[in-house]
Structure formats: C-alpha cells, structure tokens
Amino acid sequence: MKRYRLLVALCLALCGLGVWPAYTAYVSASKHELARKRFNDELGPPFAIKPIDDDAIRDIERDWVCRYRDAQLFAEALAMVDRKPSLRDLIDFMNYRIPPTSLLDGDANKRNAVIAKVQSTVMPLSTDRTIHESKAQRKCVIYPGDGMAFVFTERDGGLEEALFVRKKDIEPSDGAESR
C-alpha cells in the first residue's frame, strides 16, 4: 500500500512539473496574442505601394519648404531592428505586422515585440495609407497631412529623410529652411 502511495505521489509530481510550464506558456501566449491583435488593429492596414513620377518629387523638393532634413529617425529605427537604412527595408518595416504567437519559439516572439515597440514610436501618419515610390526606386514620399510630405531618399551612405510643407500652408519666416 505504501508503495502505491509513493508511486501515485511520484506520478502526480511528474505530471505537475509538466503541466505547470505548459499552463504558464499558454497564459503567456494568450496575453501575447491579445497584444498582437490590438497592436495590428491600431496600425491599420498595410501601406499600399504606388508609383510616383520623379518630377512630382522634384516639385516637392523645389517648391515646398523643408522643415527638417536628415534627422536619421527612421534610419536609427531600422538599425534598432537589425535592418539596413534602405528604402526597401523602410517599406518592409512600415508594412510589418506581428505574426501569430509561437509557443515553441520564444526568441521570435521577443524579436516581434521589439519590432512592434520601435515601429509604434516612429510610424508616420499618412492621409492615404500609401507609400509613393519613385520609378527609379531611390525615393519615396509619404503624405502625413494635407500640404505635408516626408521624402525619403536612398543614398550610398544610407537613408536621407526630409519633411516638406507646402509654402502656402506656413510662413517661411518661422525658422524653416527654404528650398
């Protein structure tokens, strides 16, 4: 009889050791999945990619007021998630959505969480949810608001960023660099 009690206690202990980690993994995955869905919903649909004429980009750079240039915000964000400062990686980063939780790959879940955190701090607003990419694929434009344009240029040294505002929408005397 003692032998059976010991055997039952041993079986219960072994089952408990296997059940507890599985239970905590399930609870953790459930929380991650809820956060993933909420984050992806807040991001909205991925950006559409549409071509833009190179002349239209030149018009922005020539006729609009440059509010800042080469701030490196997006290049640094890409570096934080192990991406190169290039237009292709920028577009992929902006369109990244967190995949479903992996119960077997905790490292992938951590990487996805880091990307989501970085993405949430730098993601530009866009009035039309579109990335307008030049035909030469060396520049792209995102319109964060009426009369505003982010222009990203891929150069040999990395990614250059500039925010332009239409001249009629601001006063150039407020410290903006005019181009």
Confidence at residue 162, expressed as pLDDT on a 0 to 100 scale? 92
Which range in 17-21, 36-40, 83-87 is most confidently predicted, on average pLDDT? 83-87
148 vs 41, higher pLDDT = 148
Q: Could you tell me the residue range of the domain that residue 42 belongs to? A: 2-178
Tokens describing residue 136:
């030469």
Asked whether the predicted pLDDT for residue 4 surpasses 90, the reply is no
Lowest mean pLDDT among 2-11, 76-85, 111-120, 128-137: 2-11
- What is the residue-wise DSSP string for 116-154? HHHHHHHPPP-SSSEEEEETTSSEEEEEEETTEEEEEEE
pTM here?
0.73
The domain tally of the chain equals 1
Q: Identify the band that residue 29 occupies on the pLDDT scale cut at 50, 70 and 90.
A: low
Mean pLDDT computed over 27-42: 73
pLDDT, tens digit, 9 for 90 and up, residues 67-83: 988 778 888 999 999 99
Secondary structure of residue 31 in the 3-state scheme: helix
Residues 6+ apart with CB under 8 A from 79: 85
Residues 6+ apart with CB under 8 A from 147: 165, 166, 168, 169
